[in-house]
Amino acid sequence: MTDEAPTPEAHMRRQLEQAVRAGRSKAFLLPQLERLASVAKEGSDEWCFANRQLAELLLEQAPWRAALHARRVAVQSSSDDAAHALLGLALALQNNYRAAIASYRRALAANPSNPWYAHNVGHLYDVALDLPRDGLPFLRAAHREEPSQDDVTASLAHCLARAGAIDEARELAVELAARHPNRSDFAELAQWIAEGAPAREAQGAPALLAHIEHGSSTPAPDSPAPPADDSIDELLERAPLTEEQRARARRLWVDYESRESTDATRDGRALAAAIEYAIHRVDGANVTQRSLAERYNVSVSAIRSRYGSIRSALAPEIEIGRYRR
């Protein structure tokens, strides 16, 4: 007895999965995924895959469209934590924070072991809704699961201080700042707590979203992290780029360093990842910050923050296409 031949939809999905892994451009992927979403049976694995991928691809440029695709899958399956998390991020990008929290809580219910879902719920309560006491249990849970993740620790320290637990917050923040003397944001956090955590206005996007993740950023088991003391040049040399892309990446790096006057050794892996991401974006390739975070062993928020800094510093050059082929 022979196995049944795969359906056309299943065959299309396999081809698209390979295209996603190969980093094909959005211009190629979007129409193909939309076609699969339209022909596959609603609720099928192929239909869910297409809508989930569409949500992820559309997040940055069209978060409202991303929310539509993620919601379709989330409505079909309460156990699809990735769909609920994608919906949460898409809603947060639209400043719909209460709905974003609800979606992340559904993702957390479906996958309680994912610390980033708990982190995002707690962080949104703290800095978006000004409800640090509501966010504190979630950030404590995230920190228990990922005590070595500095961004989680920083979020917990911030929330603790705003909830009145100054001593505990100070201990975490001082240790964090001492461990990373070149991280100005950690130094500022420790200083703010040392001053008694004076009142701050609730944050909105994009400042808030610099610390929001929609998935895990733990390194892939078969992708050892590059050494922490590697130079940007060494990191870019090992990046999966063509020689022509590498030349453009180095041009971007030189321009950024000269414009910002930053220390090239500060957060080097996050900067290298952001430079690589910028080149892929310029080329229209489908490379996510999450995949780069896994390869460089840094958080998505660190890459997002660095990429935002690059865009701010080099906006004219980016607009005129200095880093394109």
pLDDT tens track for 4-63? 678 999 999 999 888 776 667 778 889 999 999 999 999 999 999 999 999 988 887 889
In CATH, what number does 113-216 get? 1.25.40.10
pLDDT range class, residue 218, cuts 50, 70, 90: very low
User: Is the distance from CB of 283 to CB of 245 less than 8 angstroms?
Assistant: yes
Percent of the chain residues past pLDDT 90, beyond the cut: 36
User: Is the distance from CB of 125 to CB of 97 less than 8 angstroms?
Assistant: no
Residue 9: other Cβ atoms inside 10 A = 18
Which carries the bigger pLDDT value, residue 287 or residue 261? 287
pLDDT tens track for 262-283? 544 446 888 888 898 888 877 7
Residues 6+ apart with CB under 8 A from 137: 122
pLDDT of amino acid 97: 93
Range 1-110 classified under CATH 1.25.40.10: yes
Q: Which two tokens stand for residue 142?
A: 């995230």
Q: Which two tokens stand for residue 194?
A: 């040392």
pLDDT of amino acid 18: 81
Spans of all domains in the chain: 1-110, 113-216, 232-319
Q: Quick one: average pLDDT of 103-113?
A: 92
**CA–CA dist 26, 10 (Å, integer):** 21
pLDDT of amino acid 93: 87
Most trustworthy range by pLDDT among 59-73, 176-190, 300-314: 59-73
pLDDT of amino acid 264: 46
pLDDT of amino acid 6: 80
Q: What is the largest CA-CA distance in the chain?
A: 74
Q: What is the architecture of the domain spanning 232-319?
A: Orthogonal Bundle (1.10)
Whole-structure pTM value: 0.69
**CA–CA dist 285, 46 (Å, integer):** 22
pLDDT of amino acid 268: 80
pLDDT tens track for 131-188? 999 999 999 999 998 887 788 888 999 999 999 999 999 999 999 899 878 777 788 8
Q: Is the pLDDT of residue 242 over 80?
A: yes
What H or E segment, with its residue span, contains residue 219? none
Q: Is the pLDDT of residue 311 over 90?
A: no
Percent of the chain residues past pLDDT 70, beyond the cut: 83
pLDDT of amino acid 202: 57
The yes-or-no answer to whether 1-110 and 113-216 have a common fold is yes
Q: State the average pLDDT for the chain.
A: 82
Q: Is the pLDDT of residue 205 over 50?
A: no
Q: Tokens 């869910």 identify what position?
A: 48
